[in-house]
Amino acid sequence: MRLLPLAVVLGVSLYSAGFWVVDPLLQPSREDYRAAECAIRGDWLSGDAIVVIPWWAARIREFVGDLNFIQLRNPQAEDWSTYSRLWVVSLPGHRYDLGTYPRLKKIRAGALEIDLYDLPTPARVIYDFRDRLGDARVLMREPPGPRQCSRWVENRWICSRRDWNYVGRMIVELGDDPRKIIWAHPADDPIEIHYQSVPGGKLLRVHTGFTPPAARAQDGAPVTLRVLMDGRELGRVVQQNLTGYFPAEWDISAAGPGPHQVTFIVSSPRGGMRHFCFDAQVRG
């Protein structure tokens, strides 16, 4: 019994020393990454996406960062409905099984493991409002009358000199992950984003959310996103003061093939710290 404390201390010390000796030996080499790159590029198809496990691992992006890379903490919970296949690159000690989808192949690249999953037939994106933001007309609906944000600078329609007051293509953190969105911070008056000549489809899908700093604001007011098609309201989302990436969708099949005029109206009773973001697609 008197030996037990010593045994514990020795055991912990040996484990700890071994940890610093063994752990570095298990890490992937540059050659492993090159092999992973070859495997991915050799079988890459349009509609593929790549995630890495754990989410913080970045070296793979030196090799395939130009491909469709998506940084996610939890790929299992993601909506993959616009992708056809998913590559999952995982580091030692971080093996991951995207169990709900059939695995097409499993490749070992040294210490790296690469799984290719077959996703259900992807939804066809007919019109991506974020991609087409440059074609939109943006208005600040303020007294005495609406004012157009007519200056397009680096991915955004500038509405005033205030550094948040624009409608722009951004990548921001919503929830815990980066998302490609349209930044549409309402002021005390609504912002309108008008798109002409939008083709018809089956669904109009949106995601909404606040950035984490906005969601931390104690008195953060909700933001309402109204979606109008050809002047008629399709629906609205009242985004409560939460960070995240919240989906909503409307059936637009009855509206016909178009072209349609689609308007997004973003408003809030109080505009302070309303870092509101959304994306939207017409899907076939």
Partner 1 sequence: MRLIKRHENTMIALGLALATFGVLFANAPELGLTRDEGYYVDAAEHYAGWFRELSKNPGRAFSDAVISRHYEINREHPVLVKNLMALSYLALAPPRTLSPSWPPDKRGAYVRAMRLPADLFSALCVALVFLFGAAVASRRVGLFAALAFILAPRHFFHAQLACFDMPVTLMWLATVMAFRKAAGSWKWSILTGLIWGLALAVKLNAFFLPVVLGLHWLITEGRQFSLSRRGLKFPRIPLAFFCMLVLGPVVFLLHWPFLWHDTIARLGWYLGFHLNHINYYWEYFGKLLTDPPFPWAYPFVVTALSLPLPTMLLATFGFLALLGRRLGRPVRTGLQLLARLGGMKTATVADAKVTSEVTTDVGKNDAWLLILNTFIPLLIIAIPTIPIFGGMKHWLHAMPFACILAGLALDRIVQALPGEMLGRLHLTTRRVFTAVAGLILLPSLLGLVHIGNYGTTYYNELAGGVAGGADLGMQRQYWSNDISGALPWINEHLPSGARLYLHEVNGECFRSYKRDGYLRGDLRMAWTPESSDFTAYLYHREFVDTEYRVWNLTGNHKIAHGLYLDEVPLALVYDLKRSSK
Binding of partner 1 at residue 128 (CB under 8 A)? no
Binding of partner 1 at residue 12 (CB under 8 A)? yes
9 vs 104, beta carbon nearer partner 1:
9
Structure tokens at 244: 């995240």
Binding of partner 1 at residue 27 (CB under 8 A)? yes
Write the interaction track for partner 1 spanning residues 178-207; mark x where CB under 8 A is met and - where it is not: x-----------------------------
Contacting residue, 85, 169, 185, 260, with partner 1 by CB under 8 A: 169
Radius of gyration of the chain (CA): 24
**Under rule CB under 8 A, how many of the chain's residues touch partner 1?**
46
Angle at 230 between CA 228 and CA 236, to 5 degrees: 10
Contacting residue, 31, 41, 47, 62, with partner 1 by CB under 8 A: 62
Contacting residue, 44, 48, 59, 107, with partner 1 by CB under 8 A: 59
By DSSP bridging, strand 177-184 and strand 276-283 are: antiparallel
Binding of partner 1 at residue 6 (CB under 8 A)? yes
Binding of partner 1 at residue 31 (CB under 8 A)? no
Binding of partner 1 at residue 23 (CB under 8 A)? yes
Binding of partner 1 at residue 10 (CB under 8 A)? yes
Q: How far apart are CA 30 and CA 35, in angstroms?
A: 9
Q: How far apart are CA 283 and CA 263, in angstroms?
A: 17
Q: How far apart are CA 268 and CA 265, in angstroms?
A: 10
Binding of partner 1 at residue 154 (CB under 8 A)? yes
Binding of partner 1 at residue 44 (CB under 8 A)? no
Binding site for partner 1 (CB under 8 A): 2-3, 5-6, 8-10, 12-17, 19-21, 23-24, 27-28, 54, 56-59, 61-62, 65-67, 69, 71, 91, 93-94, 154-155, 169-173, 176, 178, 212, 216
